[in-house]
Structure 1
């Protein structure tokens, strides 16, 4: 898994950087230069979904993957207790009908929870250039 992530980090500028309006050399305020540098950083999100996915992404966190400001890990789960024990900084509890008790390994309950929380999931994927999703098969 580490080699895959290292490959993503080696992508060429053409693969990850949006085309910007050229500006004459030597011009621009500090604020504009900071904005330019920020826009050049790839925004990579690694989403752990469910117990297995959250555990996998938690392991990546333990390996130091998310020390880079442009790679962020998220834990997404219907189980509030599992989220509470996750080492990840960004956590999303999905599925109001699950009441934080989990889906019990039932993929249909997990799907229903994701559909209920569609707006929250859209919110955490906004501005993402590369999404990696880690998940188990539910049961």
Structure 2
């Protein structure tokens, strides 16, 4: 009976080495959990930085895209205006060449030559102003 009482007592009491090992394991677990929590916080901070950078890059991309569209629209508008001016006021290069060939073959008076030269000069000035 005395032996049973002693064995019952021993089962309740933990050996000091076991208790020390249990304490060490608990401390290691706490340190590991703290390290994991610290890593999580660092990763969240990095993720936030990445998301901010992504938002900034997307905004820059949209800004550049809009500028590009505006530039294209302005270029088209200028081209259309140039074509309208050319079609109403100025003959095309082919038409000018054809006119020159036809006029060379024809005989003209000096007054006509002077008038044609004045018209060509005026056309050239208009072209330069439109550019």
Q: Greater relative contact order: 1 or 2 (C-alpha under 8 angstroms, separation 6 or more)?
A: 1
Rg larger in 1 or in 2?
2
Fold shared per TM-score above 0.5 = no
TM-score w.r.t. the length of structure 2 is: 0.20
- Relative to its length, the structure with more helix (as a share) is 2
